[in-house]
Chain A
Amino acid sequence: MAVSSLWEWVRGYVIIKVTGRMLEKFVNMAAARRIGLHDVTTLGPGMMLARVSIDDYRQLGPILRACGCWATVDQRVGAPFVLSGLARRKFLLFGLMIFVILLSVMSSVLWTIDIIGADAEQEGMIRQVLYDMGITRWTPLSSVDCDDIRSEITKSVQGLAWVGAETQGTGLVLRVAGKVLPDAPAAPIDLIASEDSVIVRLIVLAGLPHVREGQTVAAGQVLVSGQEPTGEGGSVVHARAIVEGRVWREARAKVPLIVEQRVRTGRKAIQYRIVCGSIDLNLGRAGGFGAYDTKEYRRDLGPGVELIRIERHEIAVTTTRISRGEAYVLARASAEESIRGRLRGDAEILSVTENVSDEAVMGDAVEVVLIMETVEDIGIAKERL
């Protein structure tokens, strides 16, 4: 709806039916007196429709009389007519008023209190705190202070790390996050060696040291025990220390010079077997391939009866000879991968020593023995049993 049309609707207008012999004179006189006639259409000889505002309609009387015409209102459109229609329906107005008042009252009180992130016990405590603060269902929203609620709950309910409070419409939403406390061990925690190694650095933060720098330790040996060195008997603690050790790891890999490759030729033979108790019935051909691989699919046909589908794929076996250099590269990579798979993340590699087999000793393969020396944190926590 255009702005002008909207304005006309707000002001209100009527659609009139004018009847008479001198309609053109009526239109001319209306125009001369600045009465706005719009959408003038003729319905036939001596009859026409026109749209005119309420104010202009009131001025039409003298013109109609002067032209010998008369007008009847065909349609009333606009806000004044709607309002006057409403004014006549007093009970509707009363209901509307009651509705607006009720809506206003009901939307100004607290309807729901949602608590998110709390366990049952914490939720009970939070609701009790809210009750003590006078915040329950039907409490006026104007008396709900989220900052107060947040600080009171944080202060009163133990075990909460964070509390958030906000009103959403007619609801109060509380989001809480509980504290996550580390598990306190019942027994002392010792630090033990993860690998056979030589200790190069030892800094004890808590606990009683049992080794010293330069000492060789075996995997599983206690490095620092969970006990305070001072006092009688010492109190139980969680042993903490920086223990770095020099660790040697060894891996060996052997790669033959002749490599066998098995490739499917594409030929296959399908055979069916029906097994029923002691009866074993073979259907189809076995293929007679020199080399093949087999797949079996089994299906139960009933009690004690089984159908087996056997697929045999022919394989061509070829052998390839690789050079000693290629074999060495493969063997070394394999050995190194084996060691790296066992390394800890913080390990610093100091040196790598390798030993390659001699051709005279091992003519058909290459064997690489790799020894990797690292420095790493070897202390791992272990609860004392």
Chain B
Amino acid sequence: MSALLEVEDLSVEFATDDGMVSAVDGVTLSAKAGEILGIVGESGSGKSVLISAILRLVRPPGRIVSGRLRFEGNDLLALPEAELEAIRGARIALVPQTPRTSLNPLMTVGRQVERLLRLHRGMDKRAAREAAIAMLERVRIPDPKRRAGQYAHELSGGMCQRVMIAMALATEPRLLLADEPTTGLDVSIGARILELLRQLGEESGAAIILVTHDLGVVAQTCHRVAVMHAGQLSELAGVDELFERPLHPYTRALVRSIPRIDQQIALQPIAGAVPSLVNVRSGCRYVRRCPDALAACRRQRPPLIAAANGRRVACHAVEQSNVVR
């Protein structure tokens, strides 16, 4: 099955007073219809910038400096802004990290969904109103008629996130970008939001890209996972393979750095911190934190090596034999 979204060798840079910040460096990945692709990494790994880049919403001083973005056969980077408008928010939708501040505080949530339906689906006021209530019901908001008449401050955090998901889905997008959709929510509410995303993904056949720093969320929600470190893609694999046999030293370190509820582990923090991305030199950006670093890692950026089942890993220290089983 061909990919819905193809990101190829994408790089994003920000010009700052201190120098050029390389926020995303040569990332290649794809998302297929009906799958949930997780993007995981620490703060500063470039996850959110990558999401902005996919929407072509990187603002100056940031700039997409190279790479290709293909979505449903369109070259997103070559598309004129007017044509992009028809895709952004309609074919590709975003569920943001902070639902409450992403909602308009002066407009009822129902009206916000209605506006979207009128804009993107050309509905009249009455039809939009009915469809908006149906959307709120679809994201399992109890008593949707009453809730539609309320403002963001009258809803709980979990409820606001449901409204955001309803808005994202109102235009029947083919690709849903969810940037840390459960961060800041209580565990039980977060679990229900993820379950909802999973169900809606299955129902609609849309692809979902789920950005998170929580490996638990990845393991329980995603089909495939991209691990990012300091703007670079470290590893891309099916979720079962990734957790069963993490290949990249960074993936292994991530797994060992979180306390677990299901077993006792010896907690091992990841060495060092995400490096500064200002005027970075060539080579692997994980090299100074990596226990397996080789001389080559400083000189040369490791290429993305292909392995079985579409798995990819970018590491000099991972033996070829280890990758291709």
Tell me if chain B binds chain A.
Answer: no
A positions within 8 Å CB-CB of B: none
B positions within 8 Å CB-CB of A: none
